[in-house]
Structure 1
């Protein structure tokens, strides 16, 4: 294959509605026939896609690939959402991550269990109906957004604004969303800037207060870094868990024997969450990386500056890594899936997402063991965009 021209003749169509609804047959073919290739991404840039597990791990850990958007596109073209640890390289990455990860230590996360359980119980107690609900709107979304809002110290009543802004930012890879992105990015930025000013006058014990006054290596966060870090925490702090809960419950509804097994053996919840993350993970593609130098990978030359993206959900179905990879099996031994990434950019909120997922799934099944999907699974609408994988609505019958 010519590295400068994508070979589209025999490759299955990418980024179509059919692909979004069920990308796994496409991934299976690509892993066998063309595991590493160039494609035009929805935002108009050519880049490489990685589909196999072994290759994915190598790319995610390779320091020859940069995540620094400023380095790639220049300071004048950067987004306010790019000044954070996810889109930075060492040493800035270590500095920014160090400021945040103090709030997500295993002990602090474990100490949140009883409070998260109270939130889950309250959400189910206060459902508009005890007969049916939209799993996403009524449960999967509010639970993690409440948790992250409390950690950050932002008002819970603004959570619907966060959802709107987050959806637009997540879907920024779709060309027609560019104008809306600019509008919502400004609204989000203005909101956070005003909130930071308020916190500076009266700091509390929340994470935003800590970030506003924090110093790492003798240097405070700049305003742009503060905006980047907090916006990332709000977005990533709930998006992953929303889709973990939604995709996970959907998998149980599609596999009733696995649902019954989990109800009868609740101790399997930890395994079940890992299998949900592997089987239909909440983050379909990694964020962007760019080659810092000319590299040869699997016999193909990657030029300096080339974009490389890992198809995480494809890697998690790689038959060379996972036996019976297309089978949803909650008794599967804990797997080294890539749902939270790998290497220095491993998601720092992963322990919190796992805990929220465990509590949400267990509480829902305990309360409503006969829950049933009230729609044709093939007619569910999956969210557009490249990063997250999740369904917009999941109507369920509770009793």
Structure 2
């Protein structure tokens, strides 16, 4: 067992850059004592196998009741009876098992695959809006609106409400970093009020959507509280689009930065499924996974974790672990990508992974089909990213292409 070293104070931008993070940590070890950008003292797990272990270790729990008292000032809304955190992502068994079993019924690979024609239709409708112009911001015009439209339809959110959902969800993706705490509280209250009204509406007018399914389950056996219905609806709305937005935008940018890989994919569409996995590995949509606490003393990656300590995880670093992926900085759409952790691992593996994968496949194919001569409209070094260490989100992706004939 190693001695407890001094904590390394980390900046937000390091979390999406495995090489820079490794240099800042000063060690290739799998786990490090750090101070997160929001000031919370933590362990940061970077090794692929150690991250897998942390994601499946029953001694590391999501419930904030296990957090040491000195961590309470950093927990914010997670310690309150609040719609943002009373969902399965912050639950431990047996509550997590109960909640996930219900929600996962809507996200099986077979049910998601049936959405492919509709996702393809939405993608081409969005492309119709700008393909003849010769230029666009692909975040604003494609990567953001497509996942929001898909998850909104899946949950039964009316079209006229989606711009408000997008506005407040943007505030919440900056939690722990760029967004003010009061703004986060306000966004959370808006979601709580909105979902209270929407759930009430679904009790009277049930439809073929996920919120209606949760309401029906609650009425059948009363195993879901009203707060759990609202909170899990929020989780599916927010988490159901964020990963896909970043996969699409980051993936297109990665292909533009590697024209040989772009042309390889353009000429061989059989690579598409594997390409999505490699793009997820190479530039993870999620930069940091937080809020895991040791409920008892445990050992992880050779380090002694004391009860109550916080453990954060770095999917980008795990995905660039050279012991798992040789030459990890090289983008290779033909690489065997088994073992990337962009969707997590264990009981909290991303429930929306099949949907994100499908949306990536559909959008990349549509872009290759319709945007000939696709190129960045600005130097890559001028692109900016949302200031948060939780996700890796481009602010914009300006591109040019050959205008499509009307």
Same fold (TM over 0.5): yes
- Within 5 Å, give how 1:243-254 maps onto structure 2: 243-254=246-257
Find the residue that maps to 1:381 and give its secondary structure.
Answer: coil
Q: Which residue of 273, 277, 289 corresponds with 2:276? A: 273
Task: Flag the 1:98–1:131 CA change in 2: closer, same or farther, 3 A.
Answer: same
Q: Which residue of 10, 15, 23 corresponds with 1:14? A: 10
Task: Flag the 1:371–1:128 CA change in 2: closer, same or farther, 3 A.
Answer: closer
Q: CA deviation at 1:306?
A: 0.7
Find the residue that maps to 1:214 and give its secondary structure.
Answer: helix
- Within 5 Å, give how 1:299-378 maps onto structure 2: 299-378=302-381
Task: Flag the 1:247–1:32 CA change in 2: closer, same or farther, 3 A.
Answer: same
User: Where in structure 1 are there 5+ consecutive unaligned residues?
Assistant: none
Q: CA deviation at 1:140?
A: 0.4
- Asked if 2 retains the 8 angstrom alpha-carbon contact of 1:48 and 1:307, the reply is yes
CA–CA separation in structure 1 for the residues paired with 2:7 and 2:106: 46
How many residues matched?
Answer: 393
Residue in structure 1 matched with residue 232 of structure 2 by the alignment:
229
Residue in structure 2 matched with residue 57 of structure 1 by the alignment:
52
Residue in structure 2 matched with residue 38 of structure 1 by the alignment:
33
Find the residue that maps to 1:123 and give its secondary structure.
Answer: helix
Task: Flag the 1:122–1:133 CA change in 2: closer, same or farther, 3 A.
Answer: same
Q: Which residue of 371, 394, 398 corresponds with 1:395? A: 398
**TM-score of the two chains, using structure 2 as the length reference:** 0.91
User: Where in structure 2 are there 5+ consecutive unaligned residues?
Assistant: none
CA–CA separation in structure 1 for the residues paired with 2:178 and 2:146: 31
Find the residue that maps to 1:38 and give its secondary structure.
Answer: strand
Task: Flag the 1:205–1:42 CA change in 2: closer, same or farther, 3 A.
Answer: same
**TM-score of the two chains, using structure 1 as the length reference:** 0.93
CA–CA separation in structure 2 for the residues paired with 1:217 and 1:51: 44
- Within 5 Å, give how 1:134-145 maps onto structure 2: 134-145=137-148
CA–CA separation in structure 2 for the residues paired with 1:373 and 1:132: 9
CA–CA separation in structure 2 for the residues paired with 1:366 and 1:76: 48
Q: How big is each residue's C-alpha offset from its partner over 1:87-136, in whole Å with a ceiling of 9 and x where there is no partner?
A: 11111011101111111112111111111111111110122853111010
RMSD of aligned residue pairs (Cα, Å): 2.2
- Within 5 Å, give how 1:149-298 maps onto structure 2: 149-174=152-177, 177-215=180-218, 218-298=221-301
CA–CA separation in structure 2 for the residues paired with 1:340 and 1:76: 25
- Asked if 2 retains the 8 angstrom alpha-carbon contact of 1:20 and 1:384, the reply is no
